[in-house]
Structure 1
């Protein structure tokens, strides 16, 4: 049985139409496909209520410490202020580094309360060490990257202010410990803690690179040589070597009423300024910032000296910061010159291009 030509065409048309319809449908985007995942948001420090409570506790501790310095109120007010500041700082450090703020802050508050109630010498020393270390490490962790030198100076001053509040909280526990042992212990514990944190923030040891490895080695050598040289001069120093240095210290204390600590001037402040400046460009800047605790920890230790005064401690801190900022400026200029950013125009273009993202000050790193 034969089929007419028109019938063949009519029978073929539906199939061709269905083919064209399927082709059009395959070209159209799928509306039922799930939307692309959003980038993860930065974690804030809990909700609004915990942040307000944290601020209230911190301000209450600062007011209590201020009243204790002015000799206003009961005798236990300085211990209560130290407990409040230590708890708030511990909460902030844990939140900043992605830990468990409530757990660690609760332990710090419990330790402070037991120390104030029992008034045991061992607990007072332990609470003072904890407060000093947390203050120095938090001061470094609370900084943010800076594209220019002036912004790096601002972040350095903020870090020193945080450590200064921690100094009042540390002495609020009235530790009865040897000053040198206290300084060495807090410096060692603080460096270990900040290196553990920076190991994660700086992408581990493989993220160092040649420049980062050189910075870590040189910084470690400067720290070790500074401590060893000071200890050798104090114990076994020759009079011909020690006397000129002591003469400079005496002249500074007689005329300027204080003498800055060499570790702050030569290592702590320059490393903090340079590290903050480098973090806006490279992640290795965190490894440089780790040596910034050589400045923040001495600031937090400044009031432990029983023979010193508040004025001398403040002037010692100010002199160390000012001289350290000068050294840090020279280090940054040298770094920019070695990387090819010479001249004011080249430095301005380099600062405009430095935009490495990092969480804001009150978000988890």
Structure 2
């Protein structure tokens, strides 16, 4: 019996340890669950109000009420997620939204719409969780885009009186500033960057600057032939594919968010890559705001952009693992099994 017992103990000791798993389940604490359902109920009610207003059913104030409800709730969730002062920011957001709708002032409506879309873009990045594998990283990108999409729909309810170009730049600038301020805290400040983080920030910043400068130069000073060539390619894709992907989202935003979530399962510097993911979530508001864009084409644009961005993100992850990790499928599986850097669940505060 003693020999059999020692043999069983040796077998149990030789078995591989159960693989730790990252949890992304919703928190089941009673207080958290109640607040969560309150958030969901208010957001759904806001979407219903905006939908009824869109088909001209109900009173004229429905769109403003839905926009205020979603915008205030998004500020609430963002403040709670990032450790902000909920009791300060939520009443302030509610007051600003109500004043903009009641006074019907163009400047206030436009500013509140930008604030709502920027909050949605930032929240889309902040609600993501670490992803040890590519498929889970792709799931986080989809979650981020859906969250940003709801915020974009809410911003339409404020009826901003800005051109699409100005609205696009304003939303991107505000959301970038907000996310980088939050990531500065989550990523342990500049001294926590390290070599990898520095490469991420410099490379992402240069890519963003070049993309924005090229688009602006092309729009203002591009030769007619070059401009027509670019638009011919877009028109060809629209005619044959139904839509064309958005370059900034596909080339920078989605790959950065995919790689960032993958990195966050291993090291804190992944937050700096996620910060550039706001270039994927912020432009969603401009697409939703465009009245000339049919709903089917809008959906196809996001689908094509997502597919291209995820393909680039997959290549970036594989290159990163090939250069810094172990080679071989077995080594990659072992590395994924140990990629369990702790982070709070999706509904808990990050700080």
Residue 326 (structure 2) pairs with residue 341 (structure 1): yes
Residue 129 (structure 2) pairs with residue 144 (structure 1): yes
Maintained 8 Å contact 1:140/1:159: yes
Question: Larger RCO: Structure 1 or Structure 2 (Cα < 8 Å, ≥ 6 residues apart)?
Answer: 2
Shift of 1:299: 1.2
Deviation sequence 1:218-266 (CA, Å, 0-9, x none): 1000000001101111110013332322211111122223222100000
Cα distance 1:260–1:200, how it changes in 2: closer, same or farther (>3 A)? same
CA distance in 1, matches of 2:258, 2:299: 20
Runs of 4+ in 1 over 6 A off after TM superposition: none
What SS class does the counterpart of residue 288 from structure 2 fall into?
A: coil
Unaligned runs of 5+ in 2: 1-26
- In structure 1, which of residues 147, 161, 178 is the aligned counterpart of residue 146 of structure 2? 161
Residue 109 (structure 2) pairs with residue 124 (structure 1): yes
What SS class does the counterpart of residue 204 from structure 2 fall into?
A: helix
Paired position in structure 1 for 2:92: 107
Paired position in structure 1 for 2:17: none
Residue 278 (structure 2) pairs with residue 293 (structure 1): yes
CA distance in 2, matches of 1:67, 1:102: 31
Tell which deviates more after alignment, 49-58 or 267-276: 49-58
Equivalenced residue count is 323
Residue 73 (structure 2) pairs with residue 88 (structure 1): yes
Paired position in structure 2 for 1:275: 260
CA distance in 2, matches of 1:173, 1:309: 20
- In structure 2, which of residues 182, 191, 211 is the aligned counterpart of residue 226 of structure 1? 211
CA distance in 2, matches of 1:307, 1:251: 18
Maintained 8 Å contact 1:216/1:288: yes
Shift of 1:49: 4.6
CA distance in 1, matches of 2:146, 2:223: 38
Paired position in structure 2 for 1:332: 317
Maintained 8 Å contact 1:132/1:301: no
Shift of 1:46: 6.1
What SS class does the counterpart of residue 320 from structure 2 fall into?
A: helix
CA distance in 1, matches of 2:226, 2:199: 31
What SS class does the counterpart of residue 344 from structure 2 fall into?
A: coil
TM-score computed with the length of structure 2 as normaliser: 0.88
CA distance in 2, matches of 1:51, 1:326: 33
CA distance in 2, matches of 1:45, 1:132: 30
Of structures 1 and 2, the larger Rg is shown by 1
Residue 181 (structure 2) pairs with residue 196 (structure 1): yes
Unaligned runs of 5+ in 1: 1-41
TM-score computed with the length of structure 1 as normaliser: 0.85
- In structure 2, which of residues 168, 171, 174 is the aligned counterpart of residue 186 of structure 1? 171
Residue 50 (structure 2) pairs with residue 65 (structure 1): yes
What SS class does the counterpart of residue 254 from structure 1 fall into?
A: helix
